Amino acid sequence: MNPKQFYKLLLFIFLIPMLSSCFEVIEEITMRNNGTGDVILTINLSQSKTKVASVMLLDSVQGYKVPSKQKIQQELGEAVAYLKKSEGISNVKSTSDFNNYIATISFTFKDVSNINNITKNILAQQKIKAANTSSYSFNKATKTFTRKYQAVATAKTEFNKLKSKDKAVFNGANYTSIYRFESPVISTTNSASNLSKSKKAVMLKSSIMDLINGKINVSNQIQLSK
């Protein structure tokens, strides 16, 4: 994903709704003990589909240009192409459903840190100096999965610069992260996260507003049984 595409994707999220809307972003990582794993990223705008469909009929809304279906598909295709070229990434797929407005990107990684490079590259291309605000690592020896996250201070200030109308877009938006493992989880450091009944998955739900404002931290260190 080049910066321009990234920006457009962001815009697309901005645009979606007049007043407010509900949408969810889901990040799923399935870790295998050998360090490899799968990622599925989902954006689901289904709850706002009436609004999205209305907006799609317009040229622009609140000053942002509305991308066409073709444009969105093209951008998604380019994102896939970028991922395919990335180190350690394979099996890249994307889906888009324009009836329910759901899009996904999925891929397999050799090492979970491969994802960090992608984020890093995007950030580098965007010339953002917020070094490593978010990173993933998996220590095969200790069987520790670590997600580091630090609320980007600039994100909050940038967000506050938005018009209140545009801010409202995020009011009903949710972020969910799910990490699944082959071995049961012994402990997690983030008290906001939940452990599944099978003890093999950890979920964290948060509103995107809290994430931007730094009210919630998604950092977590997950210790698996050896």
Query: In the complex, which residues of this chain contact other proteins (CB under 8 A)?
Result: 19-21, 24, 26, 28, 44, 46-47, 49-54, 56-57, 99-100, 102, 164, 168, 171-172, 178, 180, 196-198, 200-203
Residue 26 or 128: which CB sits closer to other proteins?
A: 26
Outline where DSSP puts E strands in 115-200.
134-139, 144-149, 174-180, 185-188, 194-195
Q: Is-contact 213 183, C-beta < 8 A? A: no
For residue 27, the cross-strand partners are: 41, 177
The 10 Å CB-count burial string (b at 16+, else e) for 92-117 is bebeeeeeebbbbbbbbbebbebbbb
Cβ 192 to other proteins shortest distance, Å? 15
Residue 8 or 180: which CB sits closer to other proteins?
A: 180
Cβ 72 to other proteins shortest distance, Å? 14
Residue 54 or 154: which CB sits closer to other proteins?
A: 54
Residue 1 or 55: which CB sits closer to other proteins?
A: 55
20: part of which helix (H) or strand (E)? none
Cβ 189 to other proteins shortest distance, Å? 18
Cβ 3 to other proteins shortest distance, Å? 29
